[in-house]
Amino acid sequence: MKKIGFLTSGGDCQSLNATMRGVAKTLYQTYPDVEIYGILEGYKGLIYGNYRKMKPSDFSGILTEGGTIIGTSRQPFKKMREPDENGLDKVEAMKSNYKKWGLDCLVILGGNGTHKTANLLSEESLNVVTLPKTIDNDIWGTDITFGFQSAVNIATNAIDCIHTTAASHSRVFIVEVMGHKVGWLTLHAGIAGGADIILLPEIPYDIDSVVAALDKRTKEGKQFSILAVAEGAISKEDAALSKKELKAKRKENPYPSISYQIGKEIEERTGQEVRITVPGHMQRGGEPCPYDRVISSRLGAAAARLIIKEKYGYMVGFKNGEIVPVPLGEVAGKLKMVDPDSSIIKEAKGLGICFGD
């Protein structure tokens, strides 16, 4: 009899349940008596021994349900080797609970930080299989992450809705899209939503270039403009600072986010009215789109097959239309960034989209 632990860690997204369902349904087909343990609230549950034994019925009716039925939490990787407030060794606690429960494998669904800890546990001789979850689509070793397309749909809808009010009032609108370090979500939503200017963390912007693009539209008789701005967008001036200098500058920054700073600068330089829209955590919520449901089901089934073959220490990725196992050591600690010289950026520029560079 197989005993498998499921764990969802980090920020939530729309297709976690669909992916766990894919793993569970495939395992139940092969091992009717398999025992699945839902480890509650991510790595916190593994550290402190909180879980519940799942039933096949728990995985019915959740294909379209957003969030995660076993809860999640953020447990920073850089603190995993630090004892908790009571002196508990977190890594040893996780290993101890894994062995105490008699698990044959730990299935971990999460993003970059989650994969660092998953790789750590794999190096500590635990059997681990992971799945790439993040709305940011920034995990190394996979072309797509589940949750990404659903978030793109929501962010795109926000831009679509802004178009009508922007045109009615002849204003400049900024839609701030999630993405601290990478801009995949902003890039795709910006192109899909017809944004005129897209600002990404990977392409530091020059406010003069942004203003010039807005002035050009005004001279062409276009009375409104829409900017899709990643929350991690950064100016060329700030990008040239050291981490210490940037941290100090941001501490003194009076604006709630980069979009408000950019909006203020645009108003001062152009005299145009600027409005800010921040969809925020809406981008993580709601039901998964059909594309994510398919990807999640496929990834989940493939993860189960790795368990059946006892092939551990891998993330299940999606490359060139095929599901592939990717060694955890190749994934942990790496980010899949938007390449400023990539074809998608060149094509977007060909459409007349300004990136502020």
Tokens matching residue 293: 């449901």
The torsion region of residue 278 among left (phi > 0), alpha (psi -120 to 50) and beta comes to: beta
Sign of CA dihedral 278, 283, 287, 288: positive
Nearest to 263 by CA among 180, 173, 191: 173
Tokens matching residue 99: 């062995």
Does 136 qualify as catalytic in the annotation? yes
DSSP 166-230: HHHHT-EEEEEES-SS--HHHHHHHHHTT-SEEE-TTS-B-HHHHHHHHHHHHHTT---EEEEEE
Rounded CA separation 209/197 (Å)? 10
Nearest to 185 by CA among 270, 111, 96: 111
Rounded CA separation 191/50 (Å)? 43
Tokens matching residue 38: 């839902």
Catalytic residue among 12, 58, 136, 292: 136
Nearest to 26 by CA among 4, 51, 52, 53: 4
List residues with catalytic annotation. 136
